[in-house]
Structures are given as C-alpha cells and as structure tokens.
Amino acid sequence: MKITVAEALIKALEFEGVEVMFGHPGGAILPAYDPLYDSPIRHILARHEQGAGHMAEGYAQATGKVGVAIATSGPGATNLITSLANAYMDSTPMVAITGQVPTYAIGNDAFQEAHTWGISMPATKHNYLVTDAADIPDVIHEAFQLAATGRPGPILIDLPKNILNTEIEWHEPTGKVDLPGYKPNTKGHPLQIRAAADLILAAERPVLYAGGGIIAAGAHAELLELAEKANLPVTTTLMARGAFPDSHPLSLGMPGMHGTYAAITAMQKSDLLIAVGARFDDRVTGDPDAFAPNAKVIHVDIDSSEIGKVRIAEVPIVGDARTVLGQLNDKLDRTLDGSAAPDHADWLETIRGWQRDKAVHYQQDPAGPIKPQFVVEELYRITGGNAIVVAGVGQHQMWASQLWKFTRPRTWINSGGLGTMGYAIPAAIGAKVGMPDQLVYAIDGDGSFQMTQQELTTAATHGVPVKIAVLNNNNLGMVRQWQTLFYRERYSGSELSPTTPDFVKLAEAMGCAGLRAEHPSEVGPVIEKSLTINDRPVVAEFKVDPDEMVFPMVPAGGSNDNVALSLEDLQ
Amino acid sequence: MKLHVLSVLVEDKPGVLARVSSMFARRGFNIHSLAVGPAAEPGNSVMTVVVNAAEIEQVVKQLRKLINTIKITELDPAESVEREVMLVRVSADAAKRGEVLDAAGVFKAKAVDVGAMSITFEMTGTPSKVNDFLELMRPYGLIDVVKSGWIALSRDSKTRNLRAIS
C-alpha cells in the first residue's frame, strides 16, 4: 500500500500508542496535519509552541508515557527549543516533530527556514533530519525507544515538506532498533552491589539521597523497602518530591539551597551518601568542595557520565534505579539473614532534633497581608493533598515544594534543572490531559504566570479544567529576594504591577473562572469555591506579601554548613 | 593538563562530526586535533581525537553518551603508533636551497615542490618529530604550514578499552 510519509508518520505515531499531541500547525508541517484530521490521536492546539512543548512534558511527567509535541519549521521549531532544553535537563521522555522547508530549499534561507537540527542538537538526547522517505516508520520507533529508555530525554525529528509529501510503501515498524552504540546498562554489577551493601551496613550516619531517577524508573517501592530495611533517612530532591512519602518518619524533605535544615545538615554530617538517580546538582551541594566532607558515596545512575562528574563515588553503580535497588534489597536480605540492620537510633534522634528545632516556619497575621506559604498550606489542607501539584519557577515553587506533603510519585511537576518560568500553566494542561480524573492544581507566581498565560485559552477551548493559584506579590519574587539580600535592596527590573493585569478579568476573558483573595480570611473560601467549578479552568489570585522570603536558604556557591533560617541569619 | 589520544569508532551517519564537536564545545573540553576517516567495517568511521585535559574520564563518558558512538579506546603512546602528516613551504632562494635541503634530509622530509624562492616539504612522522622538523625550518622563514592532525592505531590488544568504564 502506497501512502505519503505524512500519513505514515501519523500511522507510526498511532502504532507507538500516542493518544494526544500538543502542537501548532504552519506551512511546512501542514502535510502532517491533514492525516491527523482523520486520526484518533487528539490534537491540543497550543497558543505558542513553547506551551505545546511544556504540555508534552507535563503529560509525560504525570503519566510516565512519552509526550509528543508538533510544530512547523523556523519559528515553530525555535519556539520549541526551551521545552526541549527543559526536558533534557529533567530527563523527561518527549518526542518533538517539526516541519522543515523542502530538502531542495535547505540552506537557501528559505521562508521559515531555521537550522532546527543544529539548534536542537545540544538540547536533545538525539535528533534526526529525515532525508530518506522510506526511513520514517523506523525512525519514529527508534525515537520513541530512545526517548523512553536509558536516561529518558527529548528526541526531535525534523521532516522536510517534500519528504512528508513523498509516497512510500507502508510497512509497520520492524520493532528493531539498529543502534550499535546504544545499550543502556540496567543491572548493577554484583561486586558493586556487595560493596554498597557492606558500606550501608557499616555506616553510622547514612543518608539516602533520592533524585528524579527514582520516579523515572518507578523505583519508589524499592526505595521505601531499602529505607525501612536499613533504617536510612531519605531526602528527596526537587525532581524527586513524591518518590518517598513526606509523612514517613524517615523522610527529611528536600535538600539543597531551599531545603529543610534537617536534610541539608544530615547530608553535611553524613558518613555515607547513597545517591540514587540524583546528580549532585549545584542547587543541592552548594559549594561542592564543602559538601558532605566526611561522606563516602554510593552513586547509582543509569547515566555513567553523572557518576564522578561532580563528586567521586567510592562505589559507582551504573544501572536502572529500580533494578539496582531491587538487587541491593536482595543482597541486604541475604547478608542480614534474619538479623536486624543497624537501627541508627542516635543518628535518627539527632535528625529529629533538627526537624523539631529548625522546621520551616512562617507567621500568618490574621489581619494580613496573606502569606504565600499560608495559601500553599490551605490548598493542601482543603484538597487533602489529593492533587497533582504543578509549579512555575521562583519563590512559589520553593514554598510549594517545602510545604506540600507529597506521598505519591508523579504528583509534583515542575521545571527543576532549567528553571523555566512559565512552566506551570502548560505543564498543568498536559498533566490534566494525561490524568483527567485527577485534580490538577498549579501553584504559580505572577511573573511565571505571565510568561505563558495565553495557554489559558488552550485549556478553556479544549475543555481541560485545570486550576491555577497565582501567588501574586506584584514582583519577580525570587529576583527581589536576591536583590534584598545581595544587591542592597536595589530592585532593578523586578517590579511587576500591583494592578495590571487584573487576573480575574484576564481569566474570564480567556474562558476561565476568575477568583480573588485579598485577606487571609478569604483564602479558604476562594480555594473551596475553586474546587466547585469543574466546567472550565479556574484562576484563583491570592494577593500576597511581597516582602516574604524563602527560607531556609544557603546563598549560591556557599557552604551547606551555613544554613540561614531567617533574614537575621544572613545579616 | 595532558594530551590524551582517543580512537573513537562511530556510525558513519550525517552530522556525527558535528555532534562530537558540539558536545566538546558545550562541555568546555579542549580538542587539540581531530582527524576522521572510514573504518575497516563499512558504515563506520574512526575519529582520532586528541584532547587536552587534566582528567579524561568525563570526556570519554560524554562521548560514549552520544547515540552514534560505538566504541572508544584511549591509546597509550607506548603501546600505539601515532602519526601526523605536514606540508610546509619554507622560504629558500638559490643561496639557501642547499642548506635547507640538507637539513630536511636529516628528518627524511620529502621535497615535493621546489620554486625559485621556496621549497615545499612533505613530512610524515610522530607528532613530536613533525614538530621538531617545523622548528628546524622556522628560522628559514615559514610561508605556509598545514597539518593533518594526529592519527593513531594501537600496536596490539594492550589498549585500555574505555567502554567498560563505569
């Protein structure tokens, strides 16, 4: 049967089980949109390609499936780049399909031509410019395999318009991936597993340092088993919130720049860090030379280049987090042979002391202004924590991560590595499309919100009833916080407007419900009200105190020995 | 900093060289020289990459991560053959011609073009020998120099295969 490459593309996507694509059409990709019209694949028309990309990421983060974005050549493709870079940093499985000018026009500065393959190369795990029409079914299959296996990541496929229009003989993807150099190692080396088990049983002050790899690998059950078996306190990075229940007595919360005092300090004092699917990011380590100076390191990662990149590991283990933790649990069972592992009672008691005395805190004056942390806590209380929480980037993101008690993986969706403001609205839409039966509540800042607010229209017109709490402090809050602390309160370029936009009117104009709370007593009722509106998206604006700052804080590049719990600690 | 010689077997696909050089640029690694050509097996290429780095492990791991990389071997100078080709045009009028040719003879450099005012030599040898010859010629006046970059092969199987590095 002869069909066009465009038709083959859509068939190949159906073959991969794609149920939804987020995109925006344009000249070069039009041939692919025609067969899409007849396909069961749902198309969500984003109002900007960056939004389409973040929707695909939010969908992937919420469901664990590969997210798919589609855009045209030139500006369509360049607008996708931020989302690709974001997905690359956060190891999110994603396939992006872009149109390209015809092969005979490539290099001639044709209308809407950009060198998408070159531009996207450092922002993707791998990318393709398809110049042989017959390749398409196998290229699509290869792309999905690469996106989802090993360390997941974004893959881009650039399709020239004349290739899309070429007729080929359709064949189902052979299912074979011909990549002689791509063989992710999933199983840990037995000798390394034994060395790791020995270190764990000998440690006096161990900390289990869980990263986003736990969620990517679906290793949360194995993580819990290991922590309980060996009495290991667990810290979950910004990308791993929900990988270990915050309600668990062994939970330390988040590490790093705005982590809990207990998590930061436990790592500093530790004699053994067991890092699993984590990459010793600078926001976790602070000054790497001063980080956890007395700790030996067991480092488990599927990407061998992460091991030894920042911190030398005494026991490096290349493998899939779930497989390796399973091996480690078995090894510990065999070694312990019924006897109990060290209980680390003194260590855990020391940690509990820090948790008691140095907890994250804030004060809500009943007379106002509304504290942003109070909004997060009220949201948690009123929803019972039963929501997928999505954040933008900035202060609101840190408060959401600090104060929400996550208990399940894939219920916290944010931009961790790249720090992409504007992530919340489109990522929430993607999450809600993937998980329509779950409450998806974005917690956003007014600065982040305004970067991608046009996607409210997407949510309203496609019937995707996300809810968005805007913590409006009229400022780029995290920038303002740094200016307060390190730039003598010179608020250069960080003030937004106290009146503009009118978030309620904006929401309504875009087909959403708009709500507002200006006084602490209104916070609860506004949240309650937001939960009753399910026929359209809801934007709930909370006018919050612009002077509130995120603490604890370790200033950038500083030693994690110096955790500031309040402004006074920094002065 | 130290020079490390990597022999990298890659799939011969469009853009592989760009992927390698882009990764080096992005990660701030220093390429001293890079030479590419077809491998023994059809469909593959061999790159000889000379890297100036204090630690080679991260360079190797990042190279390994590229999807089209098949195998990386670090070549130990004591256990491998390293060569470079240089073409150099040296200023030499009739009065100096004999002296320049004599000096080149010591290095077994081959005169491939002789003109009224210059001589062009082809010099093949270890990179250090090629460099020595260049320095010998410098005082006469270098008009043009072009080098191939290093190429290298292991002498036997005693090379460190870095695929196994974890």
User: Distance (Å, rounded) from C-alpha A435 to C-alpha A413?
Assistant: 13
The tens digit of pLDDT for each residue in A343-391 reads: 999 999 999 999 999 999 999 999 999 999 999 999 999 999 999 999 9
Asked whether residue A260 falls in the same domain as residue A326, the answer is yes
Residue among B10, B15, B61 minimizing CB distance to A304: B61
> What pLDDT score does B157 carry?
60
The answer, yes or no, to whether residue B164 has pLDDT greater than 60, is no
Among B61, B68, B72, B165, which would you mutate to test the A interface (most chain A Cβ atoms within 10 Å of its Cβ)?
B61
Residue A161 lies in a domain: yes
Is the minimum CB–CB distance between A266 and chain B shorter than 8 Å?
A: no
Looking at the structure, tell me whether residues A348 and A469 fall in a common domain: no
Residues of chain B whose C-beta is under 8 A from some C-beta in A? 10-11, 14-15, 18-19, 22-23, 26, 57-58, 61-62, 64-71, 165-166
A197 touches chain B (CB under 8 A): no
What is the rounded average pLDDT for all residues in chain A? Answer: 97
- Whether ipTM tops 0.90, in short, is yes
Per-residue pLDDT tens over the stretch A151-200 = 999 999 999 999 999 999 998 888 888 899 999 999 999 999 999 999 99
Same domain, A352 and A432: no
Shared-domain flag, residues A390 and A345: no
Query: For residue A564, is it within any domain?
Result: no
Nearest to A180 among B11, B14, B57 (CB): B11
**Does residue A161 have an active-site annotation?**
yes
Angle at A21 between CA A414 and CA A183, to 5 degrees: 70
A146 to chain B, any CB pair closer than 8 A? The answer is: yes
Best A103, A124, A129, A182 residue to mutate vs chain B (most B CBs within 10 Å): A182
| A31 pLDDT more than 80 | yes
Q: Which residues of A touch B23 (CB under 8 A)?
A: 122
Distance from CA of A11 to the nearest CA of B (A): 25
Last residue of a domain, one of A328, A357, A386: A357
Q: Taking 60 as the threshold, does the pLDDT of residue B160 lie above it?
A: no
Is residue A450 annotated as a catalytic residue, yes or no?
no
Which residue range is the domain that position A396 belongs to? 372-550
Q: What is the pLDDT of residue A439?
A: 98
Q: What pLDDT does A175 receive?
A: 82
CB A438 within 8 A of CB A58: no
3-state class (DSSP) for residue A433: helix
Residue B159 has pLDDT above 90, yes or no: no
Question: Closest chain A residue to B59 measured between Cα atoms?
Answer: A305
> Would you state the pLDDT for residue A202?
98
Q: Of A57, A388, A300, A6, nearest to A160 (Cα)?
A: A6
In a domain, A177, yes or no: no
Give the pLDDT of residue A150.
98
The distance of B58 to chain A (nearest Cα, Å) reads 6
pLDDT at A177: 85
Of A332, A357, A382, at which residue does a domain stop? A357
**Placement of tokens 């001589």 in the chain:** B119
Q: Which of A325, A79, A112, A297 is nearest to A222 (CA)?
A: A325
Say if residue A383 is in the same domain as residue A318.
no
Are both A339 and A481 inside the same structural domain?
no
pLDDT surpassing 90 at residue B90? yes
pLDDT of A571: 78
Of residues A55, A239, A257, A478, which has the active-site annotation? A478
pLDDT surpasses 80 at A468? yes
The string over B84-116, giving b where at least 16 C-beta atoms fall within 10 Å of a residue's C-beta and e elsewhere, is bbbebbbebeeeebeebbebbeebebebeeeee
Residue of A180, A189, A307 lying closest to B70 (CB–CB): A180
pLDDT tens-digit readout, B29-54: 999 999 999 999 999 999 999 999 99
pLDDT digits (tens, 9 = 90+) for A404-415: 999 999 999 999
pLDDT at B78: 87
Is the CB of residue A207 less than 8 Å from the CB of residue A252? yes
Touching check for A308 and chain B: CB below 8 Å? yes
The predicted pLDDT at position B166 comes to 33
pTM assigned to the model? 0.96
Span A489-520, pLDDT tens digits: 999 999 999 999 999 999 999 999 999 999 99
Which of A121, A182, A305 has the CB atom closest to B19's CB atom?
Answer: A121
Interface contact B69-A146, CB threshold 8 A: no
Contact A316 B69 (CB under 8 A): no
How much is the average pLDDT of B137-147?
97
Same domain (yes/no): A318, A408:
no
Q: Does the structure show a pLDDT above 80 at A79?
A: yes
User: Domain check: are A42 and A141 in the same one?
Assistant: yes
Max Cα separation, chain A? 74
User: How many domains would you assign to chain A?
Assistant: 3
In-domain check, residue A181: no
Give the CATH number for residue A345.
3.40.50.1220
Among B22, B64, B65, beta carbon nearest to A122: B22
User: Closest Cα to residue A347, out of A295, A298, A312, A407?
Assistant: A295
Q: Per the CB < 8 Å rule, is A308 touching B64?
A: no
Please, what is the angle between helix A220-230 and helix A321-336, to 10°?
Answer: 30
| Bridge partners (DSSP) listed for residue B147 | B86
Judge contact between A494 and A479, C-beta under 8 A: yes
| Shortest Cα–Cα distance, A324 to chain B (Å) | 14
Does B133 score more than 70 pLDDT? yes
| A510 flagged as catalytic | no
**Residue A49 counted as domain residue:** yes
Answer yes or no: A542 catalytic. Answer: no
The answer to whether the beta carbons of residues A145 and A17 sit under 8 Å apart is no
Catalytic residue among A11, A65, A125, A161: A161
- The mean pLDDT value for B136-140 works out to 97
Q: How confident is the model at residue B161 (pLDDT cuts 50, 70, 90)?
A: low
- pLDDT score recorded for residue B165: 41
Domain assignment present for A559: no
* Dihedral sign from CA coordinates of A93, A247, A395, A522: positive
Mean pLDDT to the nearest integer, A481-493? 97
* Catalytic annotation, pick one of A112, A364, A438, A454: A112
Q: Which of A16, A49, A113, A548 is catalytic?
A: A49
Separation of alpha carbons A210 and A453, rounded Å: 33
The answer to whether residue A176 is domain-embedded is: no
> Where are the strands (E) in A331-455, listed by range?
388-391, 412-413, 440-445
Considering only CB atoms, A307 lies closest to which of B10, B68, B166, namely B166
Note the pLDDT tens digit of each residue in A34-43. Answer: 999 999 999 9
Closest residue in B to A309 (Cα–Cα): B58
CATH of the domain at A496: 3.40.50.970
What confidence score (pLDDT) does residue B77 get?
86
Same domain, A379 and A351: no
Q: Are A333 and A397 members of one domain?
A: no
User: A140 with A228, same domain?
Assistant: no
Would you say residue A185 lies in a domain? Answer: no
Q: Same structural domain for residues A294 and A376?
A: no
Mutate to test the interface with A, among B9, B12, B57, B65 (most CBs of A within 10 A): B65
Domains contained in chain B, CATH given: 2-75 (3.30.70.260), 82-150 (3.30.70.1150)
CB of A182 less than 8 A from some CB of B: yes
Answer with the one of A357, A389, A406 that is the final residue of a domain.
Answer: A357
Whether the per-residue pLDDT at B163 is higher than 80: the answer is no
